[in-house]
Structures are given as structure tokens and as C-alpha cells.
Structure 1
Amino acid sequence: MSVNALRQYLEFLKNSGIKELYYPPSDKQKKLTELQKQYSTCTKCPLHNSRRKFVYGEGNPNAIAMLIGEGPGEQEDITGRPFVGAAGQLLEKMLSAINLQRSDVYITNIVKCRPPGNRNPESEERKACLPYLLEQIQIIQPKILLILGLVAAQTLLNNNNTLGWHRGKIHYFMDIPAFVTYHPSALLRNQEWKKPAWIDLQEFQKEYEKLLAATIS
């Protein structure tokens, strides 16, 4: 299914009064596992030519929060798991700082195959992979998104604005509140960005805890 076709389908559901598709909790992981296997041989864009493994995503299928980066790196390409290299280790520390663990959230990327040399994924590559992400969101039904990095922010929010423009405000994607902060790999290269990233995380934490309390009650 093309990106436009999937968007039209989602718009049709919305106009029909259907705000979300229901998957029983026990079925979500099963469905995600099936789709990961189904898409693992994807050849929709040139990235498949150099990939070792298709990096679909992982985490809690019933998560309130979904974290979305731009694409796999070298270690992710080797293991088939998102955010397991140095950036992944930093991401786990970032989550811990706001009282979350990796097992509390679902983590994925805009593109599921590593761009050569860790370059930014090109527009057509992002478009080819976007239906997979939209499908993941429909299955998991997160209540909040944390978007990691400029490429992911520009792709999901459909603009060419700077990271500074995206930060410090609540956006919405598929009617889900979304926060934007630095990608962990950028923080590894630029230590001075860790302080503003911490501010972003605290704002995300406030909204997350509101949603968690509402879910529990």
C-alpha cells in the first residue's frame, strides 16, 4: 500500500467516526511479530541492497509512549534491534532520568534499513518505509510520541523547519501529542546540547505522567 493510499484509508476511518483500530493486548505482539517477519525481505527502496538485517522495532506492544528515530546504525544493522549501539545506551540513560525503562516504551525508526555510512535517509526512502511506521502506530495505539532528531521530525510533521523550531512545543501526529528532541547520536557529538535535551525530556515526562495517571484511573 502506498503512503497516499494509507493516509487516505486512515482519513476514511476518521471521517467514519473510527478513531482507532482495536487490537486486544495479547494480539498486538503477535501481529507485530508477524509483520516484522513479513516485511523482513522488503525491497521497496535501495536501502535493502546493503542491509544486513531489517530493523522493524521493539518494545512494549501496549506502551503509552512510542519513540521514533530516523534509521538504524551499524550495530542495529548487525543485531536487527533499534538503538543498541552507543546512541542506544545513551537513550536508555535518558529514559532512566525520567523514570522509564526500555521495556516501558516501544522504539522504532522512520526507515527500517541502515542508510550507507549512516547518512540521512533520502526522501524516497522515507516515503517507502512510512507505511510500516503508520501501521505500527495503529497497532500499538500510543498516547504520546517522542520524536528523536531533525529527520524524523521533518518527516512526520511534514515541514523543513529547524530542530529549534520543533522543540519546546507539543505537536500532533495522527492526533497523538508529539514531543521533539535531539537524537542521542547528536548528543554524543555535541555535549552542550544535553542541557536543552534534558529540558525537552522533562516536558515529555510531565505529559507522559498525566497520561499514565489517566490510564490507571
Structure 2
Amino acid sequence: MEEIKKQLIEVLKDQQSIFGDDLFERIEIGRIEKKKKEFAVKFIEDSNTVENNELTISGLTLEEYQKAENLEELNSMISDCQLCPLGKTRNKFVFGIGNPNADAMLIGEAPGADEDLQGEPFVGRAGKLLTDILKAINFTRDEVYIANILKCRPPGNRDPLPSEMETCMPYLLKQIELIKPKVILCLGRVAANGLLNKKLTLSALRENIYDFYGIKVIVTYHPAALLRNPNWKRGCWEDVKKFRKIYDELTA
């Protein structure tokens, strides 16, 4: 009992440091046993972004890399991609990181400067904040999988172009197919609209829970936006509590 109380106090301290004094809520302590159901996600064939199987990456056709059986194999197949101009300006291809069998997946829009240098998503100030947010809802980065819509940094951290997102989206869809998450948290308007094929404001996106080929999708603020405007942290806290609640329901 004392150990549980100690863990609860630490969780509440984490919540306070990130979201403020008036947002405390008891959350369940302990890891939930995963009961993964085997299912085949068929959105690769259905997706409007996959239209030309003759596009090649290092000699591989789109059809060939879709046969990758795990994330490591997929990464090795596509990491030299030059299908859009970002391939020539990047330092490192940012594939993604985390648990390859995660039930929870987080998706951002594109790598920034730090990510471009290190080849890993969310490693700068926004990445540290994301780690803290995950900790506040009883997740570690090792328990989830984190990826972006784009695998290469747009110059000057500009928003991804529609053509870049269309070219890169099949990579993300294949990652989702291999990971088979039960719930996805989209970080920011660009990531959410890209994944869900919508053109909505962030406020509108945050109002709903979406179904993406059987996977629940929640939308919240990008951590970089929270650094610019801390007043949005309250809304983010409500979003990530919803994310954790859905995760718990789907993995119970």
C-alpha cells in the first residue's frame, strides 16, 4: 500500500509540473496486461494516397516494400527514399521509434532541426515536453510508438506540402499496419488532417473521436504549440486523459 501511495504521489507531482495545480485526477497505477487481437488492417489497398505502384525507392517498387514483415525491414527498404525534394535536403531519415507492438501510437507532422540531426522523432524541447506528458498519464516512451507524417524535415520547419504528405503517407500507413495500434494520438492539426484526410481546424478536430480502419484516433495540440502558448495545456490535459481512458478500455 505504501508503495502504491508513493507512486501515486509521484504521478500527481508530474501532472502538477506539466498541467498546473487544478487538474489532478486519480489514475490507475500498474501496467495493464495486453490482450492483442490479430487483425489485418486493409487501408493500404483502400488509401487514396497509394495510386502508383511504379514509384521506386532505391530500386524497390511501392508494391515490393509493402511486403515488409516488420518495422526494421521496412526502415531498411525506405530509408534512402528520394521520391520528393526533401530527400536531398535532409540530414537523417526519421523513421520512428518505440515499441513495435505498441497498442498506443503517437503521430506528429514532420521532423524538426533536432530530429533531423539525430534521426529520431521528438527529441528537442517539444520532445521533452511530450515525454513529460506521457509520464503524466502513466506511459513511457518505450511503451508507445512515435512517428511522423513526413520522414524528412521540411526546410525552415515549414508545414509539409500536400505533395510531400501524399508521397510519404504510404510509409506511415505501412507502419500502422505492422504495429496494429488500438488507439492513435495525433499531435497537431497537420498530422490529424493528413492522417484522417480532412481539412478542419484543430478545435474542430479535437471535438471528436475518429475511427481509422478500426483504430480509435484522438487529436490534441502539438507539444511545440504548448511551448508557445502554455494556456493550451489545460485542453491538452483533457485530450490525453481521454486518450489514456480509451487505451485502458481497449486493452482491459
Q: Deviations over 1:147-191 (max 9, x none)?
A: 000001111111211000010321112221100000001111111
- Separation in structure 1 between the aligned mates of residue 216 and residue 74 of structure 2, nearest angstrom: 25
Q: Given that residues 72 and 112 in structure 1 are in contact (C-alpha distance below 8 angstroms), is that contact kept between their aligned partners in structure 2? A: yes
Q: Deviations over 1:78-100 (max 9, x none)?
A: 11111111111000001011000
Alignment-derived partner of residue 121 in structure 1: 160
Alignment-derived partner of residue 115 in structure 2: 76
Alignment-derived partner of residue 171 in structure 2: 132
Structure 1 or 2: larger helix share?
Answer: 1
How far residue 9 of structure 1 moved from its aligned partner, in angstroms, is 2.0
- Separation in structure 2 between the aligned mates of residue 8 and residue 85 of structure 1, nearest angstrom: 32
- Separation in structure 2 between the aligned mates of residue 52 and residue 141 of structure 1, nearest angstrom: 29
- Separation in structure 2 between the aligned mates of residue 56 and residue 203 of structure 1, nearest angstrom: 27
How far residue 198 of structure 1 moved from its aligned partner, in angstroms, is 0.5
SS at match of 1:92: helix
- Separation in structure 2 between the aligned mates of residue 101 and residue 8 of structure 1, nearest angstrom: 29
Alignment-derived partner of residue 150 in structure 1: 189
Alignment-derived partner of residue 167 in structure 1: 206
2:162 is the alignment partner of 1:92: no
SS at match of 1:66: strand
Q: What residue ranges of structure 1 are gaps of 5+ in the alignment?
A: 1-5, 12-28
Letter in 2 for 1:160: K
Trace 1:183-194 onto structure 2 (pairs within 5 A).
183-194=222-233
Letter in 1 for 2:119: G
29, 32, 47: which one aligns with 2:71: 32
Aligned-residue Cα RMSD (Å) equals 1.6
Provide TM-score, normalisation by structure 1.
0.84
45, 60, 72: which one aligns with 2:99: 60
- Separation in structure 2 between the aligned mates of residue 127 and residue 172 of structure 1, nearest angstrom: 20
- Separation in structure 2 between the aligned mates of residue 175 and residue 10 of structure 1, nearest angstrom: 14
Letter in 2 for 1:168: E
- Separation in structure 2 between the aligned mates of residue 54 and residue 8 of structure 1, nearest angstrom: 22
Alignment-derived partner of residue 241 in structure 2: 202
136, 139, 142: which one aligns with 1:103: 142
How far residue 34 of structure 1 moved from its aligned partner, in angstroms, is 1.8
Letter in 2 for 1:163: L
Q: Given that residues 69 and 178 in structure 2 are in contact (C-alpha distance below 8 angstroms), is that contact kept between their aligned partners in structure 1? A: no
- Separation in structure 2 between the aligned mates of residue 33 and residue 157 of structure 1, nearest angstrom: 26
Distance 1:82-1:30 versus aligned 2 partners, 3 A rule:
farther
Identity %: 53
Letter in 1 for 2:143: D
Alignment-derived partner of residue 45 in structure 2: 9
Q: What residue ranges of structure 2 are gaps of 5+ in the alignment?
A: 1-41, 48-67
Letter in 1 for 2:219: V
Letter in 1 for 2:128: Q
2:86 is the alignment partner of 1:47: yes
Alignment-derived partner of residue 7 in structure 2: none
How far residue 210 of structure 1 moved from its aligned partner, in angstroms, is 1.0
Aligned residues: 191
- Separation in structure 2 between the aligned mates of residue 126 and residue 65 of structure 1, nearest angstrom: 22
How far residue 10 of structure 1 moved from its aligned partner, in angstroms, is 4.5
Q: Given that residues 168 and 200 in structure 1 are in contact (C-alpha distance below 8 angstroms), is that contact kept between their aligned partners in structure 2? A: no
Give the structure with higher Rg (CA): 2
